[in-house]
Structure 1
Amino acid sequence: MDTIIWIIIIAFFIVSFIGLIYPIIPSVLFLVGGFLVYGFYFSFTELPYSFWIVEGIFVAIIFTADYLANLYGVKRRGGSKAAIWGSTIGLLIGPFILPIIGIILGPFLGAVIAELLIHRKSLNDSIRVGVGSLIGFVSGVLAKTVIQLGMIGYFIFVLLK
């Protein structure tokens, strides 16, 4: 039974990384879910309060990194709050309309459309903002990947202590 539980925990971790690319999957919840499965099956005593505090800080950093990466990418290219919202909406809708390529096109088109329609920017300026949203998305995924690896690494470190 221990092997099955470890397979479930690892599956939760894998789904959490898939969620970095498909934002409809709450990646950090699956990661924490893996920790909870461990605690419920094996023991929460092996995961002290300090573990949960550190992991909670990591979770806050993940949410902050995601928001700041998108904000930085769009703002650096002259985008508005509407472009940030458009990028976020495009990121959520894009993969459903165009599976796989929608992950890239969604935030780009969302930002471009928001700038064109709401702020009446030129096509070139709107495309520049769209590229900024892509840069923000990719840098956010990279940052969250590193943070999630750190969370898993810390989990393993605590278990091996």
Structure 2
Amino acid sequence: MDLLLIIIAGLFLLTGFLGSVLPILPGIPLSYLGLILLHLTSTVQFSSRFLIVLGIVVIIVQLLDFIIPVWGTKKTGGSKAGVRGSLIGLFAGFFMGPWGIITGPFVGALLGELLVGKTSQKAIKAALGTFLGLLTGTILKLVLAGIMIYYYVEALVRI
């Protein structure tokens, strides 16, 4: 049973890491669930304090992931169309490889702003704010997912 939980936990952690980039997957909650599953084995035990603090950090980062892009958009004069365009661009960019993941959100935000009638200069500024906000949230999620993978590997090495 432990081996099955360890394998499933690893799959959750990897899926969570991917979900940190893909907007269709709840990245870090999946990674956190992976550590919870690992904790349920008889061979790996995390402290309750560790799991609670990590759970709080997961919630905070999830909230920041929603707040930061909106804040970046508002600070640069963007609209909801820019945020939506950025998310669509991220999703579309995923199918175009690493370069698409980087450029997709910016292009999507730019098109979203242009579609609602912004001038080119204002649309570029808003798209940049949206893109930087989305990028910041993604980096936060990737770092946290990476930290959780580290704890998974470290726990397995100690077995």
Tell me the TM-score normalized by structure 2. Answer: 0.73
Contact 1:86 1:111 in 2 (8 A): yes
User: In structure 2, which of residues 124, 129, 136 is the aligned counterpart of residue 127 of structure 1?
Assistant: 124
Per-residue CA distance 1:19-74 (angstroms, 9 max, x = gap): 22233333113312312321333279x45654543333122112111112211222
Say what the alpha-carbon RMSD is for the aligned residues. Answer: 3.1
Q: Judge conservation of contact 1:90–1:110 (CA < 8 Å) in 2.
A: yes
Q: TM-score, normalised by structure 1?
A: 0.73
User: Contact 2:13/2:34 (CA < 8 Å) preserved in 1?
Assistant: yes
Check conservation: 1:58, 1:151, Cα contact below 8 A.
Answer: no
Number of residue equivalences: 155
Match of 1:89 in 2: 88
Map 1:78-117 to 2 at 5 A.
78-96=77-95, 98-117=96-115
Q: Counterparts of 1:145 and 1:131 in 2: how far apart (Å)?
A: 21
**One-letter amino acid matched to 2:60:** I
Cα shift readout 1:76-118 (whole Å, capped 9, x = no counterpart) = 221112212221232233313x233221222112211111112
Calculate percent identity across the aligned residue pairs: 35
- Gaps of at least 5 residues in structure 1 are none
Asked if 1:41 is matched to 2:41, the reply is: yes
| 1:145 equivalent in alignment to 2:139 | no
